[in-house]
Structure 1
Amino acid sequence: MKAVLFFVLFMLEVCVALPAHAVGEYLRIKDIARLQEWRSNQLVGYGLVSGLAGTGDSMRNPATRQSLANMLKQFDLTVPVDQIQSRNVAIVMIMADLPAFAQKGDRVDVTVTSAGDARSLVGASLMMAPLKGADNKVHALAQGAVSVGGYKYDANGNVLQKNHPTVGMIPAGAIIEVPVNTSMLDAPTSVRLKLSEPDYTTASRVARAINSAFARPIAIARDAGMVEVAVDEGESQRFVEFMTKLENVMIEPDSRARVVVNERTGTVVAGAGIKLSRVTIAHGDIKLSIVTENQVSQPTFIGRAGSGVHTVVVPSSRIEVAEANQSITQSGTSVGDLVQALNKVKVSTRDIIAILQSIKAAGALHADLIIQ
């Protein structure tokens, strides 16, 4: 019997004085905000794919047979549903995003997912299918060859699979039939900028930067996520030039300190310069090994053994303990420095995540800790 226990021991003392606001990076307004009217719309549809090599929906899926029979009727071919036995077709759901300012004839990418019990969509081609929006109107038509980044083959109980073969894409596979309403371009008197990350400081800086760039007070921060910009009559007639100047105004955005950890993958991502207050961390490494060896005890005189004398198995146990002590002391340490120090002493990523959680609970990590 052998049992192994791992426990790391090191001491870390971090003494930091939180510095003043460091100079950040200047970005364009178009990189951190969008027009309030500028939004995408989701489209969804239902259709059939063909060309599968026997990996389509089985006969247990009546929706597939009914859909194929309905499609054949459109070509003046009537086939009873109970006589359709093809496994080279499958029913799929089709999804796409209708971008802002999309016009008739534009193409968008579509995602195709199996809706039945098809084993794989490799080699599939989507037959023309309408895509509808939330208003239940057809906004696009999709068709084309499905690109699947995987495969699945099985025979006699053996399965060979790569990635997810029941989901695929058709690049530029849908053609827009109904353009997006762009009424905001018809001589607007104001525009509203929505910040990607709502923040009062950033909104205030955006308004000040716009007023400085246009040399007059035309922008005002309504709340943490929106800045309203007035457009006079002359600029509304040259709206494209106005927006070009507006979206290229440079500002220094502000943001909250964040540390993101992913327990599934063991990933730790921290913003630059996130500091730690004074904290002491104890973590150790004790390796305990218990090894049991079985020895055989034989009687001294085997030939003259009497009643009740027999061979006995005697267990012999040995305990070994190895302890490694490590100590690291740093001053002015950030989260990045802490992670590097832990990596030097070969602390696993999951232990680093646990340490960061403990530091946050102790109140020494001045950032939002996001667990994914």
Structure 2
Amino acid sequence: MRKLFATLALAFSALLAFAAPANAERVRDLGQFQGVRSNQLTGYGIVVGLPGTGDDNLAYLTQAMKGVSGRMGLTLPPGVAPGLKNAAAVMITADLPAFSKPGQRIDVTVSTIGKAKSLRGGALIMTPLYGADGQIYAMAQGNLAVGGLDVGGRDGSNVTINIPTVGRIADGASVERAVATGFDNGGDLSWNLFTADFMTASRVRDAINRKLPGTATVTDGVSLALRLPPNADTRASLMAAIEMIDVSPAETPARVIVNSRTGTVVINSAVRVAPAAISHGKLVVRVDEKPTVVQPAPFSGGRTAVEQSSRIRVEEEDRKVMMFQPGASLSKIVDALNMLGVTPSDLVAILEALKQAGALKAEMVVI
């Protein structure tokens, strides 16, 4: 039994020694290797086969239909605009993942750019998808899956569910050209943080060098230079090992985020408040007008008149004064503001006042 307990204690100690640090995150969740990213593709095309819910004689759609007909060997009469209720001009967007090779399939999203009411039941004609450099990287074609619905009646009533003018084609495009990532080139490989932070960059460097000594150096607050072998197989294995290393990132800067459109206020855990007292009350002044009609006595020769009657009331809520202790944390701030019973708009006013008083140790960001 003693040997068993000793073995268990030794195993437990080993687990503690190799356990991930508190609040640790994987390197792959903090950033990514430069060049290993997706690329956006766009294209202009035509969806056909619509049940009368397409565009109606749009000039650019008419020209496109004539071009498509010409490629098929059909020449439309000059000066005649075909009725195009069964077709719609669309924009196609897609993301080309890193390391995509010719012949692989990617999903595409199709959206109308004209007056088409719905793309339900339509099929996209073969359309080239272009990258930012103007080169063709994929070809899209296929039947659309539309989650929206648009139904109208003769009296003008209309019911729309979701968005019927946007559809998606799973595996709707075939990759025709690969994007160079620089992965298989010799020399240093750059790794970039998603958010610039010198402390986090230094901790990532130290964690990588503990596992692979002499591999990482900090370039700036975002980038690390990694000295990896030029061999693609060895480089891929080392990159996979680096991505799974656990790192404790630096604490985020103290910020208060205010959404001016929705009234949402977000306070992160790094926010601290210096000694301050808050008194927040609400003064309501209400004026009620109740005019009355005064009728003269019969045969008195008087005229009917309106007599004004006003009533003014002043109400002020009784609110307590809250005192923040030095270095008050987020939980203390929330508890105190909840006791005051503040609304989101009142909370923004209080935080702005604390910032002006120099008591709020945080950056206020209005979005």
Same fold (TM over 0.5): yes
Cα distance in 2, alignment partners of residues 340 and 75 from structure 1: 71
Aligned to 1:288: 285
Cα displacement (A) at 1:29: 0.9
Aligned to 2:37: 39
Aligned to 1:264: 261
Relative to 1, partners in 2 of residues 1:190 and 1:287: Cα closer, same or farther, differing over 3 Å? same
After superposition, the C-alpha distances for 1:34-89 in whole angstroms (9 at most, x for unaligned) are 11121322211110012333222122x11111211221233322223614112111
Q: Which stretch of structure 1 is more off in the superposition, 322-331 or 88-97?
A: 322-331
Relative to 1, partners in 2 of residues 1:330 and 1:281: Cα closer, same or farther, differing over 3 Å? closer
Aligned length: 342
Cα distance in 1, alignment partners of residues 363 and 235 from structure 2: 40
Relative to 1, partners in 2 of residues 1:257 and 1:64: Cα closer, same or farther, differing over 3 Å? same
Aligned to 1:6: none
Structure holding more strand per residue: 1
Aligned to 1:109: 107
Aligned to 1:144: 142
1:322 counterpart (315, 321, 325):
315
Q: Normalized against structure 2, the TM-score is what?
A: 0.83
Relative to 1, partners in 2 of residues 1:65 and 1:239: Cα closer, same or farther, differing over 3 Å? same
Aligned to 1:312: 305
1:250 counterpart (246, 249, 255):
246
Aligned to 1:297: 294
After superposition, the C-alpha distances for 1:122-159 in whole angstroms (9 at most, x for unaligned) are 43322221111133222111123334444445555545
Moved over 6 A (4+): none
> Which amino acid letter does the alignment assign opposite residue 72 of structure 2?
F
Relative to 1, partners in 2 of residues 1:175 and 1:197: Cα closer, same or farther, differing over 3 Å? same
Cα distance in 2, alignment partners of residues 157 and 285 from structure 1: 48
Aligned to 1:128: 126
Could you tell me which runs of 5 or more consecutive residues in structure 1 were left unpaired when the two chains were aligned.
1-22
Cα distance in 2, alignment partners of residues 339 and 350 from structure 1: 15
Q: Which stretch of structure 1 is more off in the superposition, 106-115 or 38-47?
A: 106-115
After superposition, the C-alpha distances for 1:92-124 in whole angstroms (9 at most, x for unaligned) are 111212121112222222222222232333433
Aligned to 1:179: 178
2:219 counterpart (209, 219, 222):
222
Q: How does 1:48-67 map to 2 (within 5 A)?
A: 48-59=46-57, 61-67=58-64
2:165 counterpart of 1:166: yes
Could you tell me which runs of 5 or more consecutive residues in structure 2 were left unpaired when the two chains were aligned.
1-20
Cα distance in 1, alignment partners of residues 341 and 236 from structure 2: 56
Cα displacement (A) at 1:362: 3.0
Cα distance in 2, alignment partners of residues 148 and 212 from structure 1: 51
Among all aligned residue pairs of Structure 1 and Structure 2, give the percentage whose two residues are the same amino acid. 37
Aligned to 1:364: 359
Q: Which has the higher contact order (CA 8 A, sep 6+)?
A: 1
After superposition, the C-alpha distances for 1:271-300 in whole angstroms (9 at most, x for unaligned) are 22421122333432122221121223334x
> Which amino acid letter does the alignment assign opposite residue 205 of structure 2?
A
Preserved contact between residue 229 and residue 235 of structure 2 (Cα < 8 Å): no
Preserved contact between residue 275 and residue 366 of structure 1 (Cα < 8 Å): yes
Q: How does 1:85-100 map to 2 (within 5 A)?
A: 85-100=83-98
Cα distance in 2, alignment partners of residues 356 and 131 from structure 1: 48
Q: Normalized against structure 1, the TM-score is what?
A: 0.82
CA RMSD of aligned residues (A): 2.6
